[in-house]
Amino acid sequence: MRTFMMGLAAAFAILFLSAAPAAADTIECPLSQARRTVTNDLPSGWWTTPIVNNLSETRIQEIGGETALVCVYGASGSVQRNAPANQTCTARTGGFDCAPRIRLVPLPRPTPSPAPATHSTGPLSVPQTYVFDLDAGSVGGEGDIWFQAVTASQLFLTPRGGAQMAVGDGSNRGLAGCSAASFSATRVALSEIPVGSYVCVRTSEGRISQFRMNAISSGSPKTLTLGYTTWQ
């Protein structure tokens, strides 16, 4: 364990050192004054008066396709040098401040998760006392959920054939939410599943399914209009 922790600490140290920025460069102009004069040979009796100027300006300039640091001495002219490689420089009084260029590396785009595979989906119209099957997407036969009518007003959705339901808060939970739901084989009163509610189901074949209560007909007997999706 100690060896592992020491190795981990070393790895963090290497990561920290590699991430540390390189030092910036401070470059001063080489002269505070520049002297300009005629250098030609002059006839006897002639002379020249040199021009002396203080440093008047610093600037960044492209010369021959390269970035140059230029120190200007008024009428005396200027001197220049190439900027340090892979650095960005800014001019200031008396010289230049240069720092390593920041290389922006684009983050890889996250790979979207594939959509859950659907076993069956569609609308269902379920008359009172009928059973609907969320694996086959059919009404009648054995199925998963029975639209049970004890009386005209006592109506239930009752799991059949090993199927189970989870009403929860009636929200749209999708595959992930329904997979984590608490299922039960206990019947649920229709009054607890108003229009707009979603119900999770574990079908008799063990698949996760969800249906939405789209409509409940008026009068008696009633018909339920559902929209469902069953995943693989």
Q: What is the pLDDT of residues 21-72, one digit of tens each?
A: 456 789 999 999 999 999 999 999 999 999 999 999 999 999 999 999 999 9
Tell me the pLDDT of the chain averaged across its residues. 90
Question: How distant, in Å, are the alpha carbons of 38, 136, 204 from that of 170?
Answer: 95, 23, 21
Q: What is the pLDDT of residue 49?
A: 93
For residue 207, CA distances in Å to 25, 51, 204, 214 come to 66, 94, 8, 22
Please, what's the b/e burial string for 132-150 (b: 16 or more CB within 10 A of its CB; e: otherwise)? bbbbbbebeeebbbbbbbe
pTM of the model: 0.54
* Encoded tokens for 2: 């100690």
Give me the residue spans of the domains in the chain: 24-100, 118-231
The better pLDDT of the pair 177, 105 is held by 177
Mean pLDDT (whole number) for 129-138: 98
pLDDT tens string 193-230: 999 999 999 999 999 999 999 999 999 999 999 999 99
pLDDT given at position 3: 44
Give residue 11's pLDDT band: very low, low, confident or very high (50, 70, 90).
very low
Whether 18 has a pLDDT exceeding 90, the answer reads no
Nearest to 86 by CA among 99, 70, 96: 99
Report the pLDDT value the prediction gives residue 22, as an integer from 0 to 100. Answer: 54
Using CA atoms, how far apart are residues 96 and 108, in angstroms rounded to an integer?
A: 36
Which position has the higher pLDDT, 111 or 68?
Answer: 68
**CA 203 → CA 52, 119, 161, 207, distances in Å?**
96, 12, 9, 5
Structure tokens at 156: 């239930």
